[in-house]
Amino acid sequence: MDSAVAALKLVEEGRTLETATVRLWPGSDRRSCCSPGALQRARGTAAWLGLPHHLVDREAEFAAAVVEPFVASYLAGETPNPCVVCNPMRLAALVGVADELGLARVATGHYARLVWRDEQPYVARGVDRRKDQSYMLWAVPPEVLARLEFPLGDSSKAETRAAAEAAGLPAAAEPESQEVCFAVEGYRPFLEGRGVAAEPGDIVDGQGRVLGRHEGHWRYTVGQRRGLGVPGGPWYVLRVDAALNVVVAGDREGLARCAVVLRDVLDRGLGVAGGGLSVQLRYRSPAVPVAALEDAGGGRLRVLLLEPFEGMAPGQSAVFYDAHEVVVGGGVIADSS
């Protein structure tokens, strides 16, 4: 629906427009954005709009760049965010299609805004904070950002749905797509389906005392409360030690962290952002004010927070915003303290 309304807006502006869908995964579940039904609906929506439609196959690239690292990350005791990895790949693929068609720009249905500073493109938060997707776009490189448009950046989800219904778009009644398009049943069944074995181990407290047993450390993520099967509590997952196959649990206060170390850092103005720099440590979580940034060596960055944050998990993204809600950098959480 979001992509359909974005296209509708551009058609109403009189823009020259063609549509494309990137096929990433061979799933058949209706909830997946790559199911045969979803592709058929995309083609039907394009036809309803009177626009050409192109199907772009990137299944092999997606499996190597997104799915395999997703599995490896869980096995390493992390909580990955595959959408952050997928967005740069599929948007670059769409830019490639635009080049082949002789089209200058690529529009998407993301709830984000594009701003320009010193002739450089940056992602900024969308007007609808509840649907804002700028967090998922932090790793898109500037050369790809420069080719993008976000027609829904100044709209709310309610306004988008109302526009779809008013126009009679076939996609008006479509439900929200799944966050992980290739694991619509959840990451645990997906990993099991790929042959990841259950290796029992201990659930321990901060002093190493055994509280219970688990059936595989990859079944647990930092901040998780339910499903531990440990008496007493409430218990929360504080850390996952993949090397020892141990899950560390404790009370909620044990989740609070005031510093985090990042890897794979993208710096687009962290040092010149000035006052008001904040960092978002999970999708849907509010950003936290930054106290200081320190070189942690080896290309890593230590971020000191002005207030504690509960449940930051290795593998998740940390996205920096300046006082104007513009993304000025990001990285992947490697450790917290």
Mean predicted lDDT score pLDDT of the chain: 92
Nearest alpha carbon to residue 276 among 332, 324, 220, 226: 324
- Residue 243 pLDDT more than 60? yes
3-state SS, residue 40: helix
**Structure-token match 């504080």, residue found:** 238
Give residue 67's pLDDT band: very low, low, confident or very high (50, 70, 90). very high
CATH 2.40.30.10 range(s) for the chain read 256-336
Active site residue 181: yes
Query: Is the predicted pLDDT of residue 32 greater than 70, yes or no?
Result: no
Which runs of E-coded beta strand occur in 146-287?
Answer: 148-149, 201-204, 210-214, 236-241, 246-250, 256-267, 278-280
2-173: CATH topology is: Rossmann fold (3.40.50)
Least confident of 37-41, 225-229, 231-235: 37-41
Give residue 41's pLDDT: 87
For residue 10, what pLDDT band results from cuts at 50, 70 and 90? very high
List, by residue range, all CATH 2.30.30.280 domains of the chain: 198-250
Q: Specify the CATH class of 256-336 in words.
A: mainly beta
Of 33, 83, 86, 258, which one is the catalytic site residue? 86
pTM for the model:
0.94
CATH 3.40.50.620 in the chain, residue ranges: 2-173
Asked if omega into 234 is within 30° of 0 (cis), the reply is yes
Would the pLDDT of 172 be above 90? Answer: no
CATH-assigned architecture of domain 198-250: Roll (2.30)
Out of 33, 34, 181, 258, pick the active-site residue: 181
pLDDT at 178 exceeding the cut of 60:
no
Closest to 157 measured CA to CA, from 179, 183, 129, 137: 129
Angstrom distance (rounded) from CA 211 to CA 116? 53
